[in-house]
Amino acid sequence: MRAADISDDLTEILVTEEQIQDKLQELAEQVLVDYEGKDLLLVGVLKGAVMVMADFARALPRHIMMDWMAVSSYGTGTRSSGVVQIRKDLDTDLHDKDVLIVEDIIDSGLTLSWLLENFASRGAKSVSVLALLRKPDAMKVHVECRYVGFDIPNDFVVGYGLDYAEKYRNLRDVAVLAPHVYA
């Protein structure tokens, strides 16, 4: 669906579908160069990163492998709890792998910093991060993110995979959720 279909629920469109696709194309070109001659495992963090993974992986003109992990640190609210729980683990042995974690958004950074440590402890050769969105003002821990799509203000956003109570993931753009929806 498009923002116009649910305009009462949104206050502002932050990133359009077209801007997202252009940015993913640009990031894919960088990743292509940076990982030349290396096998590359993309790890998508469910469920928010599903759209980013689908479009980013297809923007890459080379072979990659793909795996998924589900962690939770949010529940159905809009605040980070800081407690990370594995809900679905990887199928892949990370030993000696060059891993690129594909994320929807870096908010507090707590989920990613936990994941980076966890993947390093499994013996990955390298672990880097690609995040479509980042909220610099919300970060509680520093996370090295090699590929960032857009820095955005510290508002709760939905769309392009990002949900509120499991809804809005199928919105094509990224938009700020109107406070009356979750008040």
Q: How many CA atoms lie within 13 A of 60 on its CB side?
A: 24
The answer to whether the CB of 141 falls within 8 A of the CB of 153 is no
| 156 binding partner (options Mg ion, ligand 5GP, none; Cβ < 5 to 8 Å by kind) | ligand 5GP
Comparing every residue's Cβ against Mg ion, the nearest one is 48
At 103, is the secondary structure helix, strand, or coil? strand
Distance CA 134, CA 42 (A): 19
Catalytically annotated residue among 104, 107, 163, 173: 107
Regarding 115 and contact with ligand 5GP (CB under 6 A), the answer is: no
Looking at 15, 48, 51, 116, which residue binds ligand 5GP (CB under 6 A)? 48
DSSP notation for 11-57: EEEEE-HHHHHHHHHHHHHHHHHHTTTS--EEEEEETTTHHHHHHHH
Kindly identify the residues of this chain, within the stretch 28-67, that bind Mg ion according to CB under 5 A: 45, 48
Looking at 163, 168, 171, 174, which residue binds Mg ion (CB under 5 A)? 163
Residue 59 beta carbon to ligand 5GP: minimum distance, rounded to whole angstroms: 21
Binding mask 61-100 for ligand 5GP (x = CB under 6 A): ------------xx-----x--------------------
The answer to whether the CB of 109 falls within 8 A of the CB of 141 is yes
Is-catalytic flag, 8? Answer: no
What are the Cα distances from residue 108, in Å, to 68, 105, 171?
21, 9, 23
The residue ranges that bind Mg ion (CB under 5 A) are 45, 48, 74, 103-104, 163
Task: Report the catalytic residues.
Answer: 107
